[in-house]
Amino acid sequence: MSKETKKFKTESKQLLNLMINSIYTNKEIFLRELISNASDAIDKYHLLSLSDDKLEKTNDYEIHLEVDKKKRTITITDNGIGMTHDELIANIGTIAKSGTLEFLKNLKNKDMKDSDLIGQFGVGFYSAFMVSKKVEVLTKSAYSDIAYRWSSKGEEQFTIEEADKESRGTEIKLFLRKNEEDENYDEFIEDYKIQSLVKKYSNYVKYPITMEREKTIPRLDADGKEIENEYDTIIENETLNQMVPIWKKNKNEVDQKELNEFYRSQYYDYNDPSFTIWTNVEGLLTYKSIIFIPGKAPQNLYSDKYEKGLQLYAKGVFVMDKCKQLVPDYLRFIKGLVVSPDLNLNISREVLQHNRQLDKIQKNLEKKIINELSKTLKNDRDKYEEFWKEFGVNIKYGVYDNFGINKDLLKDILIFTTANEEKSVTLKEYVEKMPKDQKDIYYGSAHSKASLLASPQMDVLKSKGYDVLVLKDEIDEFMLQILNEYDKKHFKSINQGDLDLVDEKEKEDIKDLETKKEDLLSKIKDSLHNEVDEVKLSTRLTESPVCLVSGEGVSFEMEKVINQMPGDKDVKAKKILEINPQHELFQAIEKVYANNPESIEDYANLLYNQALLIEGLEIKDPVDFSNKMVKILIKAANLGDTDGTNSEEN
């Protein structure tokens, strides 16, 4: 048979350019693609040999790599099924078997990164042209006595001719491109680079991937002893891949020590994981996964540079390092891998089509992880609390995220510091310990338990023995707003204007007193020049003189958080100044107001600024506050003078 020159079918040049320049964004994956094709060819031969007596029964399979640095070639050889003349044209000569016109139309109208086209085009072989100026394929089918050589420079045409090859299988030879200003192709003929690419992308291909490598060994004398400082160089066929991945072993045969070593080496962590979750699912959706929860949160976990995701393998071939679709945002700290034979890859295998399979795997893994955390919370509280210190904020974010879609899944693994308990409590534990007359679940934002206990808003709650959740993180109030209730008990902030903590008689007494003191309360409000929305007598204060509470809507803590966010924001919580009518300070103000109503402004400002300080809010004019404080202290000192020098003024 003489050499044939054929043109690629369809709009091949245009399509081939897209294959080489648009679809593949990472040139080093050419080796992964060619090794994957070689593995597929061996798979096909092995399966056919089981039922076809014409084919030799063997397990001596191998994918061999050879590098010629002088000629700048890389050769990938397999002893798989091989190809006939017609199969060469069908599998390689025709880039896309169907739908090419529609495929091209889609590519013209959208960025490849957003392409949702399913990988039905069999174009992995053409990744070779990303690094090659020419590609030769020497192949012999297990069903033919004739071998063929296919050759192309990746342009409009290819040649095919009969060739000499004794054994079945396929040999692909790549003639590397010359180095360019921004591309170094020489690195692909270095042994270390080939080895690293095999380990990275094809480490778990089930057939040995071999390469001849030079090895220096000590020279031995006639008695078999090493001769000092004398060495021989030998050529050894070395297997580069591991072949049997940890997830293919029987789970019962892999101990935690081996899993820890795998985790540390694979994910570059000095610490052992705190949780290892091994899943094997078979059925309509088949996959295996090993999920690790780190012992310590990565330092960059909350930075923009941190990338979530799980490693993804399909049929033993590494597909991507960070598959984001498998990890919900709130579990971004998890590490691990997923292996599935069922996934639909897009044309380049570099990006998975966003599909229901991945969504289902993600949901399954999410439930599995939360179930494991729930069991740990129940059976090993200390271990769970260590986890919570590192990643509790993430779980809270999971409750808040997506308008609370996961709140029912997560609400029972939330734990809180509280005012009354030494150890943290779950919401279920809080509700179980509530006094019979307590209607709601109370919370307060504070930097620590001690500062919450010192808060004046705690007065009546402490007197009743009610416990209060201590909220220390910015996300906490937003999370509880989304939860809204637990076990039909609503969440209420101790800073809310109306807590409904006293009986009807006490309410009526306070209302009557407010009516009597209406002029004084109005004067205090007017003196503050719209700094507060309301001034009222308090039912919650028993020991403290004054406090500031928020009305309906945004709380003080939420006001601070929202206004710290990027963008022009000026969110204001409704401020209500509550005064303890039983406190001697209020009684002193009553006397001042009775004697000189106009002098009440200084006292009103002191009350308000005192409330701001207690609440941790900013005082607008600290100097004015200090001057008014000094003025009142001097006046108080003069009023209390006992030597008679100011008796006339008194």
CA atoms of 26 and 23, how far apart (whole Å)? 9
- Residue-wise pLDDT for 91-123, tens only, equals 775 544 434 444 445 544 544 433 332 232 345
How far, in Å, CA of 413 to CA of 375, rounded?
Answer: 10
| Contacts with 41 (C-beta within 8 Å, 6 or more apart), sequence order | 78, 80, 81, 82, 169, 170
Q: Per-residue pLDDT averaged across 326-348, rounded?
A: 84
* Contact call for residues 532 and 575 (beta carbons, < 8 A): yes
Q: Compute the C-alpha angle 487/488/490, nearest 5°.
A: 110
Partners of residue 575 on adjacent β-strands = 550
Query: Lowest mean pLDDT: which of 106-120, 223-237, 299-313?
Result: 106-120
Per-residue pLDDT for 360 more than 60? yes
Report domain extents, the chain: 4-219+230-239, 246-375, 414-493, 504-619
pLDDT, mean of residues 24-29? 75
Comparing 212-221, 255-264, 295-304, the range with the smallest average pLDDT is 212-221
Q: Residue 354's pLDDT band (boundaries 50, 70, 90)?
A: low
State yes or no: pLDDT of 464 exceeds 50. Answer: yes
Place of tokens 């308000």: 608
* Of 251-265, 428-442, 493-507, minimum mean pLDDT range: 493-507
Query: Given 1.20.120.790, 3.90.1300.10, 3.90.550.10, 1.10.238.10, which CATH number is that of 504-619?
Result: 1.20.120.790
Task: Quote the percentage of the chain above a pLDDT of 90.
Answer: 52
Topology classification of domain 414-493: Rossmann fold (3.40.50)
Q: How much is the pLDDT for 240?
A: 93
More confident site: 599 or 61: 61
Beta strand 575-579 with 534-537 is parallel
| CATH topology classification for 4-219+230-239 | Heat Shock Protein 90 (3.30.565)
Point out the least confidently predicted range of 185-194, 296-305, 565-574, 580-589: 565-574
What is the arithmetic mean of pLDDT over 71-82?
Answer: 96
**Most distant CA pair in the chain, distance:** 132
Q: How confident is the model at residue 304, as a pLDDT?
A: 87
According to DSSP, the β-strands at 209-220 and 63-68 are parallel
Structurally, what CATH architecture does the domain formed by 246-375 represent?
2-Layer Sandwich (3.30)
278, pLDDT greater than 90 = yes
Q: What is the DSSP string of 362-421?
A: HHHHHHHHHHHHHHHHHH-HHHHHHHHHHHHHHHHHHHHHHHHTTHHHHGGG-EEEESS-
